[in-house]
Amino acid sequence: MGLYAELLGERAAAEASFIDNVKHNAAHQHERLETELNSYKSTMIKESIRMGHNDLGDFYYEMGDLPAALKSFAQARDYCTTDKHIVEMCLNVSKVALHMRNFGHVTNYLTKLEQVNLSQSDPMYEQIVMLLEIVLPRDNLGLLFCAFLGFQV
């Protein structure tokens, strides 16, 4: 914080206060999400547990904790009850794995996505088909990376 304080001068105290506030809010939100997930697990309602894992995964992703986000999104797999849930889970895991440059995970989950029976009336159908046509037939990881950066969930 020394060099940082030197560069900012008087604004350093306000910046430090802001950083502490953000950390406090993030810790509070994390605690709330963990408590909700544990509550959902005690009620054994699959839909709530899946949504809890997704909420926690989104939180970790926004905080930049990619390994924790990947774990949370992958844990949602056990609680997917519809094809739409499977699509959401596969895209979430693939998105995080891509940012981690874990191309094996990306390919595995996109292959699982390919096996899901989606209705052509589904709003995501065309995007998913296009993504799979671009990515899966090729072994070029650079193309995979570029294609997926343009497709945000």
Tell me the per-residue pLDDT of 39-92, one tens digit each, with 9 for 90 and over: 999 999 999 999 999 999 999 999 999 999 999 999 999 999 988 888 889 889
Q: Which residue has the tokens 């070029």?
A: 140
pTM of the model: 0.74
The 10 Å Cβ neighbour count of residue 110 is 22
Query: What are the distances in angstroms from CA 90 to CA 1, 60, 62, 95, 140?
Result: 40, 17, 18, 8, 20
Helices 83-99, 103-114: axis angle to 10 degrees equals 160
Tell me the per-residue pLDDT of 106-136, one tens digit each, with 9 for 90 and over: 888 888 877 777 666 666 666 666 666 655 5
* SS3 category, 39: helix
Q: Which amino acid is at 134?
A: I
What is the four-CA torsion angle of 114, 115, 117, 120, rounded to 10 degrees?
A: 20
